[in-house]
């Protein structure tokens, strides 16, 4: 059944903001997806920048990266999308029930605050690289459907981070920096209390204080400016991977503009938006560190370690046909070139529960491969 489309041309509707304030935004078109998502195509009134060099430009100049085909999210599976001059905004479950939209920074005021993650502890199992300085990365992030505790999340992601430690020297064999105040992540996450279900959905994230107090997802904090009409933050893709069978993934990229201190995020090599240069309180001219794998928010329900899984639920010792894997990872060098980067070391904050296993460079497709994940559960406490 085709997605239902309701068009509102030139009509200003109420915009629900996280602060409870009301503003007005022009919704040109509303798309109701078969999976229940409501996507509002919101007119952009702010001046939108374009990258000096796009991810597609870097791939075209590379002899190791393979260009990807567009992979529409579920709300665009029939080829439709938002018109030029608008951006897609997914309504939250609360806003959908009230028949309102959430434009956040698009409306220019009432920007929602950082997300409070103090209810639990974020645990991770990742591979990392310190062979920078980096100007970004690109990799395929897997899609896995898993059951997640309602108040927790499970994510698969890639990240770039920058340390302010002037004594730190990135390079082959260097340990991970002891502090990374400036971080950008992008990937897929399941977060029932935010998205209303256990589907893996597109997200971006940034912090400027190592995530101590400032955890900004998607358009929270007003730092990320959407530019593309093709991909909506918080939306999902069609496709259900099978253990030992067909796998699904999305190519995610993060790269710094070659002319400005602006960091772009790409999906399937389409630049979807950027972090404004005013987002970070301190300089973020490059990345000292890259990271890829999974994270789980563990709230210890019932006083025990959560049963929320990471990745596919399978441990990192399993085959990549069963465990989640980041594929075809390539770094972006300080001159804006994609390069083969060895990320052969790993970090697991709770190794009895979640793990990461760097595999090495691919035989048939360029880039580095890493397997990660775990089932969670009370035995993680032992």
- Show Cβ contacts of residue 167 under 8 Å, excluding neighbours closer than 6 positions: none
Task: Give me the mean pLDDT over the 127-153 stretch.
Answer: 95
Per the prediction, the chain carries an average pLDDT of 86
- Tokens standing for 283? 């300089």
**Cα gap 137→50, rounded to integer Å:** 19
Give the per-residue pLDDT at 80. Answer: 74
| pLDDT tens column, 47-65 | 788 899 999 999 999 999 9
Its pTM stands at 0.90
Residue 363: band (very low, low, confident or very high) from pLDDT cuts 50, 70, 90: confident
Pairing of strands 182-190, 216-217: unpaired
Residue 172 three-state SS: coil
Sign of CA dihedral 72, 337, 206, 359: positive
The pLDDT > 70 percentage for the chain reads 87
| pLDDT tens column, 266-321 | 999 999 999 988 889 888 999 999 999 999 999 999 999 999 999 999 999 998 88
| pLDDT tens column, 314-361 | 999 998 889 999 999 999 999 999 999 999 999 999 999 999 999 999
Residue 238: band (very low, low, confident or very high) from pLDDT cuts 50, 70, 90: confident
Give the per-residue pLDDT at 170. Answer: 85
Residue 261 three-state SS: coil
Q: What are phi and psi of 381, to 5 degrees?
A: -75, -10
Give the per-residue pLDDT at 111. Answer: 58
- Show Cβ contacts of residue 212 under 8 Å, excluding neighbours closer than 6 positions: none
Check residue 34 and give left, alpha or beta (phi > 0: left; psi -120 to 50: alpha). alpha
């Amino acid at each position: 059944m085709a997605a239902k489309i309701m068009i509102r041309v030139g009509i200003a509707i109420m915009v629900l903001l996280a602060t409870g304030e009301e503003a007005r935004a022009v919704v040109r078109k509303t798309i109701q997806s078969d999976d229940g998502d409501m996507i509002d195509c919101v007119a952009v009134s702010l001046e939108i920048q374009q990258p000096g060099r796009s991810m597609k430009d870097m791939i075209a100049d590379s002899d190791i990266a393979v260009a990807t085909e567009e992979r529409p999210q579920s709300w665009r599976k029939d080829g439709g999308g938002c018109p030029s001059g608008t951006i897609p905004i997914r309504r939250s479950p609360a806003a959908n029930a009230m028949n309102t939209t959430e434009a956040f920074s698009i409306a220019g005021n009432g920007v929602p605050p950082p997300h409070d993650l103090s209810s639990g502890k974020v645990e991770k199992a990742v591979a990392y690289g310190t062979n920078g300085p980096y100007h970004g990365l690109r990799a395929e992030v897997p899609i896995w459907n898993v059951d997640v505790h309602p108040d927790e999340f499970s994510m698969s992601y890639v990240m770039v981070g920058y340390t302010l430690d002037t004594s730190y020297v990135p390079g082959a064999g260097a340990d991970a920096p002891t502090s990374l105040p400036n971080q950008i992540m992008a990937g897929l996450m399941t977060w029932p209390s935010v998205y209303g279900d256990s589907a893996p959905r597109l997200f971006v994230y940034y912090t400027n204080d190592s995530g101590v107090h400032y955890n900004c997802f998607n358009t929270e904090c007003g730092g990320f400016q959407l530019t593309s009409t093709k991909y909506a933050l918080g939306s999902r893709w069609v496709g259900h991977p099978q253990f030992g069978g067909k796998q699904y993934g999305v190519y995610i990229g993060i790269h710094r503009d070659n002319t400005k201190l602006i960091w772009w995020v790409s999906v399937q090599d389409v630049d979807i938006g950027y972090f404004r240069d005013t987002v970070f309180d301190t300089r973020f001219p490059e990345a000292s560190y890259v990271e890829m794998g999974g994270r789980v928010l563990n709230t210890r329900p019932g006083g025990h370690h959560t049963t929320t899984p990471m990745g596919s639920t399978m441990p990192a010792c399993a085959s990549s046909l069963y465990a989640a894997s980041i594929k075809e990872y390539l770094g972006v060098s300080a001159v804006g070139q994609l390069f083969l980067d060895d990320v052969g070391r790993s970090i697991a904050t709770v190794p009895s529960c979640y793990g990461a296993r760097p595999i090495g460079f691919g035989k048939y497709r360029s880039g580095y491969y890493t397997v990660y994940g775990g089932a969670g559960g009370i035995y993680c406490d032992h």
